[in-house]
């Protein structure tokens, strides 16, 4: 067998293992079968070993950190295996969560509706281009996750020609920067407001008494404030009035309205499954999103035969290995972040836990604003927000805080998570932006987004302090 063929076979087996891990996670959620949880963790280890050659250096560092902290837990804890099993269960769940979201990419990339939405957004007049691109990338990000950045940035490069800028290269570059920033900032709002987002899954998973209904008003206000600040920064950075092209006729936004209804149907399906099966919202996502993706794909294939059911199933089976083969780094980053965050709390002795509890209580109404700032600062030195958020939420859930609004604290953490994605050079979003622009992630975060980040941090800190 040739080396290239061996690589293909290994990738296929790695993707299949990840798919089986997701299926076993669902079995565990619905039946509580101990064997399913144990087998899922074993197969996840196999997935990590098979996918090792394709992982980034950052993903490998996180995997090594998990191994090191696991050995430390074996040495320090009196009964470590139960703790390690629980931490590995969190890793498995997030791997299943990312797999479920990845399945949505199969019908999304085949969708004519999404292509029409993209063209409609890019052809908006200059005044409306930022809000439409930002809101569009938020909606698309719910379905495509990081795929929306690749999709939108490719469309922007194709649409932003020198001819459309009246032959002015500087205007072409300004338009490109503004459209790319609108896409990035809009995408980073998706984890903040989406009930299908990974941030919401982590927060609700650790704050078991908190519900999405309680959290949503806070994250909605946070997202609106960040959106308006981004729009204001775009207007300040834009070219002077009079040098832009004449106002063009605005294309129809009906494709975007239809796509919004499609997303609403998907979200309602997840909420219905959560109520019907008595599951937490993140758990319902693992079941509802693949089911919704399959129904969407069947609708696209409805003219082929058997109401599209057979062709959709065959298409999912054929395309799934390709889709899952590209999310290994995301799975490792998110899963190991949750794993390390859980073990970090477990390794604290009672005296340290009491000290942390005393500190958190002493901070009182300052806690939400300080938690937001801490998450953003730590992300600048390479601490993934899933690690810091998992640690903080696990800590708060263990010590219990009287007088601190749990929804407000959770919204502050999610807002901090969102801001790390437009500023930290270690996030996947910034790495994708760096690849497209040719600039370093640090230059994008400071030169392009520095003003927006500073204004957002000040505004968020003030608002969360006042709300407390």
pLDDT tens column, 69-103 = 999 999 988 889 999 999 999 999 989 988 988 88
Record the pTM. Answer: 0.81
Of the candidates 268, 261, 295, the residue with the CA atom closest to the CA atom of residue 284: 268
pLDDT given for residue 3 in this prediction: 62
pLDDT given for residue 244 in this prediction: 45
Name the percent of the chain lying above pLDDT 70.
88
Phi/psi of residue 295, nearest 5 degrees: -65, -45
Q: What b/e sequence results for 422-437 when a residue is b if at least 16 CB atoms lie within 10 Å of its CB, and e otherwise? A: bbbbbbbbbbbbbebb
Question: What is d(CA 449, CA 443) in angstroms, rounded to the nearest whole number?
Answer: 9
Question: What is d(CA 249, CA 124) in angstroms, rounded to the nearest whole number?
Answer: 8
**Would 248 be classed as within a structural domain?**
no
Residue 310's domain spans which residues? 12-238+260-467
pLDDT given for residue 20 in this prediction: 93
Q: Is 456 left (phi over 0), alpha (psi -120 to 50) or beta?
A: alpha
Per-residue pLDDT for 246 more than 50? no
How far CA 197 is from CA of 97, 141, 282, 319, 397, in Å, comes to 9, 9, 8, 23, 21
Question: What is d(CA 79, CA 236) in angstroms, rounded to the nearest whole number?
Answer: 58
Contact 313, 295 (CB under 8 A): no
Question: What is d(CA 191, CA 260) in angstroms, rounded to the nearest whole number?
Answer: 17
Question: What is d(CA 139, CA 137) in angstroms, rounded to the nearest whole number?
Answer: 5
Query: Structure tokens of 95?
Result: 């791997």
Question: What is d(CA 140, CA 143) in angstroms, rounded to the nearest whole number?
Answer: 5
Helix (H, G, I), strand (E, B) or coil at 287: helix
Of the candidates 257, 311, 303, 263, the residue with the CA atom closest to the CA atom of residue 108: 263
Of the candidates 260, 325, 310, the residue with the CA atom closest to the CA atom of residue 7: 325
**Would 247 be classed as within a structural domain?**
no
Contact 146, 330 (CB under 8 A): yes
Contact 142, 263 (CB under 8 A): yes
Question: What is d(CA 346, CA 65) in angstroms, rounded to the nearest whole number?
Answer: 16
Q: Tokens 């807002």 identify what position?
A: 415
What tens digit of pLDDT does each residue of 124-177 get?
777 788 898 898 888 888 876 776 777 777 677 766 666 656 667 777 788 788
**Would 245 be classed as within a structural domain?**
no
**Would 87 be classed as within a structural domain?**
yes
pLDDT given for residue 178 in this prediction: 85
**Would 251 be classed as within a structural domain?**
no
What tens digit of pLDDT does each residue of 364-389 get?
678 888 889 999 999 988 888 888 88
What's the structural domain count of the chain? 1
**Would 7 be classed as within a structural domain?**
no
**Would 243 be classed as within a structural domain?**
no
**Would 270 be classed as within a structural domain?**
yes
């Amino acid at each position: 067998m040739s080396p290239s063929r061996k690589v293909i076979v290994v990738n296929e087996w790695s993707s299949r293992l990840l798919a089986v891990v997701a299926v076993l996670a669902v079995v565990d959620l619905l039946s509580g079968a101990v064997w399913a949880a144990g087998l899922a963790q074993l197969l996840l280890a196999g997935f990590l070993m098979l996918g090792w050659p394709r992982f980034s250096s950052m993903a490998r560092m996180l995997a090594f950190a998990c191994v090191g902290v696991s050995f430390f837990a074996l040495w320090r804890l009196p009964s470590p295996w139960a703790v390690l099993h629980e931490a590995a269960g969190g890793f498995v769940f997030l791997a299943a969560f990312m797999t479920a979201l990845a399945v949505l990419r199969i019908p999304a990339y085949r969708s004519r509706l999404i292509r029409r939405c993209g063209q409609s957004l890019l052809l908006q007049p200059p005044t409306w281009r930022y809000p439409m691109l930002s809101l569009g990338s938020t909606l698309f990000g719910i379905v495509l996750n990081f795929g929306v950045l690749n999709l939108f940035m490719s469309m922007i490069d194709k649409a932003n020609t020198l001819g459309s800028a009246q032959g002015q290269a500087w205007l072409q570059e300004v338009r490109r920067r503004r459209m790319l920033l609108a896409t990035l900032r809009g995408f980073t709002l998706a984890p903040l407001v989406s009930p299908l987002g990974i941030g919401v899954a982590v927060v609700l998973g650790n704050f078991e008494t908190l519900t999405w209904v309680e959290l949503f008003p806070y994250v909605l206000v946070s997202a609106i404030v960040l959106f308006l600040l981004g729009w204001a920064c775009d207007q300040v950075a834009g070219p002077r009035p009079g040098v832009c092209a004449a106002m063009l006729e605005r294309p129809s936004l009906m494709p975007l309205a239809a796509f919004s209804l499609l997303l609403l149907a998907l979200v309602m399906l997840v909420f219905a499954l959560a109520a019907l099966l008595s599951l937490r919202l993140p758990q319902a996502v693992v079941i509802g999103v693949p089911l919704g993706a399959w129904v969407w794909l069947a609708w696209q294939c409805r003219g082929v035969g058997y109401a599209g059911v057979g062709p959709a199933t065959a298409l999912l089976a054929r395309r799934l290995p390709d889709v899952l083969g590209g999310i290994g780094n995301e799975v490792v980053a998110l899963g190991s972040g949750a794993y390390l965050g859980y073990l970090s709390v477990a390794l604290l002795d009672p005296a340290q836990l009491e000290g942390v509890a005393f500190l958190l209580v002493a901070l009182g109404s300052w806690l939400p604003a300080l938690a937001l700032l801490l998450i953003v600062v730590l992300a600048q030195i390479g601490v993934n927000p899933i690690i810091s958020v998992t640690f903080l939420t696990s800590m708060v859930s263990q010590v219990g805080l009287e007088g601190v609004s749990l929804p407000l604290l959770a919204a502050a953490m999610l807002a901090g998570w969102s801001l790390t994605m437009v500023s930290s050079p270690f996030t996947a979003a910034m790495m994708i932006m760096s690849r497209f622009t040719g600039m370093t992630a640090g230059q994008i975060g400071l030169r392009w987004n520095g003003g927006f980040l500073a204004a957002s941090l000040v505004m968020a800190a003030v608002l969360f302090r006042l709300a407390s």
